[in-house]
Chains A and B, each alone.
Chain A
Amino acid sequence: MDYFDPHIHMVSRTTDDYATLARMGCVGMSEPAFWAGFDRGSAASFRDYFRQLTEFERSRAANYGIAHYTWLCINAKEAENVELSREVIAMIPEFLERPNVLGIGEIGLNKNTKNESIVFLEHLDVAAKYDELVLIHTPHLHDKYLGTRMILDMLVKDARLKPQRVLVDHVEEHTIGEVLDRGFWAGMTLYPVSKCTPARAADMVEQFGTERLCVNSAGDWGPSQPTAVPNFIFEMRRRGHSEATIRKIVYENPLTFFRQCRRFQFAPRL
């Protein structure tokens, strides 16, 4: 089955992973800007990173027939440094019109601090000013519920942002309902340690339906599986769900969300 992985950090993956994903049916992916595993020291590092996301990864994916899209930001884990964050945020507009950029992301909270909140709000200002889609990172483990509620508060207080143009990622059983009920898109991140398993993601589909819901692998530099979306497809098939139900979540929903971006272009396989 053709599928999209709407959240995967391919800068952390080998070219062999691109080949594997292509063989498993991946036809498109989107890569949010992320933490490198260490705090970067200057805005110049981010300029190089944004070039990697908008140039190199795009061509690396194309070699395997995969359409690569990306999101730009400074990640919440580096947002404690507000001065650096503001330098990076000021640089984002010069990259926004590159053809594979979908919007601002993955912005959000990590430890739910004041500085993270301020940097999150300033990212939202850029999204509103340039009419960009937004991809949101929610915290993990015991910080997730509080952080998700804080993020939703900040989103709904901003009349410039339309919920249907915002995807709130890493939802789990205690956060998915409120995200969907408020009209946002939701992403379930399949991860071997924290976040969600393919089976629990399938459980949430059974309980919450298929509207505005996506699954992704994260596929980053930590313990993660870039093939997690095919694992979810397999789990859904084993339970007896229809191909149409599965396809809506792993293919049609990401396309529907991405098509709201004025730059988005994608040619389905014939």
Chain B
Amino acid sequence: MSPPANSLPANSPLANSPLANSPLATVGSPMTAQQVLDREFLEVRARVLKIAATLDRIDRSAAPAADAGRMEQIRQGLQILLSDAPDRARQVQMLFSLPYRSDWPQQLGVPLENRG
């Protein structure tokens, strides 16, 4: 791959993310952090409240208990939100994704060689 057209500076919050070596020219946000917060605060507050109310509802609901695996996924997702990582959306997506294995063609019996 050719050298990045816009390598991120070492002190960029994205410097350690998969975006750091992308050859793509980013656009960046025209808004300041305070402007983003001002615009989004009420919506984020409402969403946090919705999650809290949902967890409360699960706790006070009758048996059988909620599926432990999915509840653990939700807890891990909330931990990602509390981190300082620059790519929390990508990390949450990965948390809720099936894993990839490069030997899937052999596992499924789908020949990929000798095409074209």
A residues neighboring B (CB under 8 Å): 112-114, 117-118, 121, 124, 128, 141-146, 149-150, 153-154, 157-161, 172-174, 177, 180-181, 200, 203, 205-211, 238-241, 245
- Give A258 to B94 CA distance when docked, in angstroms: 32
Q: How far is the CB of B16 from chain A (nearest CB, A)?
A: 14
Q: Tell me the chain B residues, 14-35 only, with Cβ under 8 Å from chain A.
A: 14, 18-19, 22-31
Residues of B within 8 A of A141 (CB): 96
Task: Give the 9 A-B CB pairs with smallest separation, nearest first.
Answer: A240-B30, A160-B116, A145-B97, A174-B93, A159-B116, A149-B100, A173-B90, A114-B108, A173-B89
Residues of A within 8 A of B112 (CB): 121, 153-154, 157
Measured CB to CB, the nearest residue on chain B to A128 is B116
Interface SS of chain A: helix
Measured CB to CB, the nearest residue on chain A to B21 is A181
Choose among B98, B108, B110 the residue that contacts A145 (Cβ–Cβ < 8 A).
Answer: B98
Q: How far is the CB of A177 from chain B (nearest CB, A)?
A: 5
- Contact count A vs B, C-beta below 8 Å: 97
Choose among B27, B29, B87, B115 the residue that contacts A121 (Cβ–Cβ < 8 A).
Answer: B115
The reply to whether A206 and B110 contact each other, CB–CB distance below 8 Å, is: no
The reply to whether A158 and B116 contact each other, CB–CB distance below 8 Å, is: yes
Q: How far is the CB of A144 from chain B (nearest CB, A)?
A: 7
The reply to whether A241 and B27 contact each other, CB–CB distance below 8 Å, is: yes
Name 23 interchain pairs, CB-CB below 8 A, sorted by A: A117-B108, A117-B110, A121-B110, A121-B112, A121-B115, A141-B96, A146-B98, A146-B99, A149-B100, A150-B104, A153-B112, A157-B112, A159-B116, A161-B116, A173-B87, A173-B93, A177-B18, A181-B1, A181-B24, A208-B26, A210-B27, A211-B24, A241-B27
The reply to whether A206 and B29 contact each other, CB–CB distance below 8 Å, is: yes
- Give A149 to B100 CA distance when docked, in angstroms: 7
Residues of A within 8 A of B27 (CB): 205-206, 209-210, 241, 245
- Centre residue among A144, A149, A158 by max chain B CB count within 10 A: A149
The reply to whether B30 and A207 contact each other, CB–CB distance below 8 Å, is: no
Choose among A145, A161, A241 the residue that contacts B94 (Cβ–Cβ < 8 A).
Answer: A145
The reply to whether B115 and A146 contact each other, CB–CB distance below 8 Å, is: no
